[in-house]
Amino acid sequence: MNMVAPEAGSDRPDLPPAYRLVALDSVDSTNEHAKALAEEGAEDGTLIWALEQTSGRGRMGRDWSSPPGNLYCSLVLRPDCDLATAAELGFVAALGVGDALGQLVPPMTELHFKWPNDVLLEGRKVCGILLEASASSEGALDYVILGVGLNIASRPPSDQVRAEPISLYEVGCGPDVTPVSVLSSFSRHFLVWVNRWLDDGFAPVRSAWLNRAKGVGEEISVTCGTGGETLQGVFSDLDPHGALVLDVPGRGFVTVTAGEVYFPAQAE
């Protein structure tokens, strides 16, 4: 007879003392909830985590499907920097996710970053990051909400527009890999990278991200902004704040600060 082992671990994540957890069964969007708390003065390190979201949102005004079984969390951050510099936190978070997944997924699983802030396993999207910032009219940053959605038990169906999704279970993670274990690991690795960023700036983050980025030196397409012009060229670099530098034939180097990257379809 098959015995089913009880799920390992507790139902609360093990977080570094830098974070204060607000755990919810269900919420419209952890980013929205974090924003409301930040407006009321929630301190840096307030971490909202929900088992499901009823109106999860992604970049470019898209929905983020959020059934139970996956990770949905948002951190309130109050770094002492300007808006452009705060955008670097998306890359810091991607590195935290990458290091956490490196310890959770089977060895040899391919892990890459996709500009600006996606994390891919086996070339498919496992994690999306949504940064939302609030600044005064003079441009001084008040807070940043860093939202992380990570497919563990399930993933949305592919829609031909976004990067093909994948879940941790699909790459062979077992039932011990849960939202609690992933959040515990992410929070530790993110803290290491955010401290590195605070101490040494974007340079080490940029080079670690570029080391595992998909498509650098290769031909890609980029739709600029939300549904703007689509450019084709070689993904040449990240600029000092994380904008994508594209070498476009006939135009030279074009710097893209927001948009969606598409990789050419691989030959079968």
105 vs 148, beta carbon nearer ligand BTN: 148
Number of neighbours of residue 64 by Cβ within 10 angstroms: 19
Binding to ligand BTN by residue 90, rule CB under 6 A?
A: no
Q: Least Å distance between CB 150 and ligand BTN?
A: 8
Binding to ligand BTN by residue 130, rule CB under 6 A?
A: yes
13 vs 147, beta carbon nearer ligand BTN: 147
28 vs 247, beta carbon nearer ligand BTN: 28
Residue showing tokens 């992933």:
182
Per DSSP, helices labelled H in the chain are 30-39, 83-86, 89-104, 179-200, 203-211
Convert residues 48-67 into a mask of x (bound to ligand BTN by CB under 6 A) and - (unbound): -----x--xxxx--x-x---
Binding to ligand BTN by residue 179, rule CB under 6 A?
A: no
Query: Given candidates 13, 19, 22, 30, which one binds ligand BTN under the rule CB under 6 A?
Result: 30
Query: Given candidates 149, 165, 242, 259, which one binds ligand BTN under the rule CB under 6 A?
Result: 149
* Only segment of 5-13, 38-46, 127-135, 250-258 that touches ligand BTN (CB under 6 A): 127-135
Binding to ligand BTN by residue 151, rule CB under 6 A?
A: no
Q: Least Å distance between CB 117 and ligand BTN?
A: 7
Q: Least Å distance between CB 3 and ligand BTN?
A: 34
Residue nearest to ligand BTN (CB): 128
- What b-and-e string marks burial along 165-177, b requiring 16 or more CB atoms within 10 Å of the CB? bbbbbbbebeeeb
Binding to ligand BTN by residue 147, rule CB under 6 A?
A: yes
Binding to ligand BTN by residue 187, rule CB under 6 A?
A: no
Q: Whole-angstrom Cα distance, residue 156 to residue 167?
A: 9
Cβ neighbors of 242 (< 8 A, separation 6 or more) are: 87, 88, 90, 91, 116, 202, 206
Q: Least Å distance between CB 139 and ligand BTN?
A: 25
Q: Least Å distance between CB 56 and ligand BTN?
A: 4
Binding to ligand BTN by residue 98, rule CB under 6 A?
A: no
Counting other chains too, the contacts that 7-13 makes at CB distance below 8 Å and 24 or more residues apart are 7/175, 7/176, 7/178, 8/175, 8/176, 8/181, 9/176, 9/178, 9/180, 9/181, 10/180, 11/180, 12/180, 13/49, 13/180, 13/181, 13/183, 13/184, 13/187
How long is the chain? 268
Binding to ligand BTN by residue 31, rule CB under 6 A?
A: yes
Cβ neighbors of 26 (< 8 A, separation 6 or more) are: 50, 51, 52, 53, 54
